[in-house]
Amino acid sequence: MILIENEIVFVSTPKCASISIHSALEKTNLKIEPTFIVPTNNEIIGGLKFPDFINNNDYFSKIKIHGHISISEIYTFLNQKVNTIVIKRDFFKRFISCFHYLFGWWIPTAYGIYYTPNVITNEFIYKHFTDEVIDIILQLPYSKHRIVEFHKKLKNLLIKPLIENYSSNYNKSILLNNLVTDDMYTNFTVILSQEHWKSGYKPTYEFDINELYKLENFISEKYNEPIRIEKENQTNYKKIGINIIEDQKLKDWVWNKFEKQYHIKKIF
């Protein structure tokens, strides 16, 4: 999503150090440009709007919006194929991080939800991430003409039960009434596999999230420009009232629901 010196693109995969790298690039003297159309207001597709907290950050000055688009979408925007940089991460660790980001920060911040401590467990995932919910999330990037419809369904299937059964809010009825007419965008697509963001293309360069020093060295040597990637946007799991256990059952569930489809060899 960030074009560096007109020749190579950093592909911003959610929860793969994307904000850390974006922030680090902002602090260099490198020329960086977005590979997407920066909205002039907070409106997304179909009349949905970013929550206010998305536009109120002090991280960035050159590229104000931190977005996530696939390699295919980047090629389409640039009207050419270019070299790409991707960060890879253990799929299960990444899912846990995405879940906490979405349900521990984005949704409660956007809707003013306060959780009853430790009621959101693995059972919440098994109960509410039904095949219908997962199918809608998988369709989101390819059905932008239905984004409002899909968001209404996901809010009814995921956010409504959060308010009804997992929150400690005294104003639940007000929150539920507001949900009916709400036009706020929720970034459900972060939970998609990191393979989705590659969109079938092999990245030119791929670095492990635990070895970001290699990316620092690569950029420094290629452009003779020092860069330091600091840890940004880390989630403090203990503070958000979520108690997800990282066990083999959940790992297998994540693999089967979100990852397996990208690793099955197709026979024609």
pLDDT tens-digit map of 244-259:
999 999 999 999 999 9
- pLDDT, position 57: 57
Alpha-carbon distance of 21 to 234, in angstroms, equals 13
- pLDDT, position 62: 76
Alpha helical stretches, state H, the chain? 18-26, 52-55, 71-78, 91-101, 107-111, 122-128, 131-139, 147-154, 160-161, 172-181, 194-198, 212-223, 248-254
- pLDDT, position 5: 93
Give the Cβ contact number of residue 119 at 10 Å: 16
What share of the chain has pLDDT > 70, as a percent? 90
- pLDDT, position 236: 59
- pLDDT, position 194: 96
Contact call for residues 92 and 247 (beta carbons, < 8 A): no
Contact call for residues 122 and 257 (beta carbons, < 8 A): no
Alpha-carbon distance of 257 to 261, in angstroms, equals 8
Task: Tell me the mean pLDDT in the region 177-183.
Answer: 86
Q: Note the pLDDT tens digit of each residue in 134-173.
A: 999 999 988 878 888 999 999 999 999 999 999 999 999 9
To the nearest whole number, what is the mean pLDDT of the chain?
A: 89
Task: Tell me the mean pLDDT in the region 187-212.
Answer: 96
Is the pLDDT confidence value at 40 over 70?
A: no
Confidence bin at 41 (pLDDT 50/70/90): low
- pLDDT, position 235: 60
- pLDDT, position 265: 62
- pLDDT, position 268: 46
- The pTM is what? 0.91
Alpha-carbon distance of 114 to 93, in angstroms, equals 25
Alpha-carbon distance of 93 to 194, in angstroms, equals 12
- pLDDT, position 24: 93
- pLDDT, position 81: 94
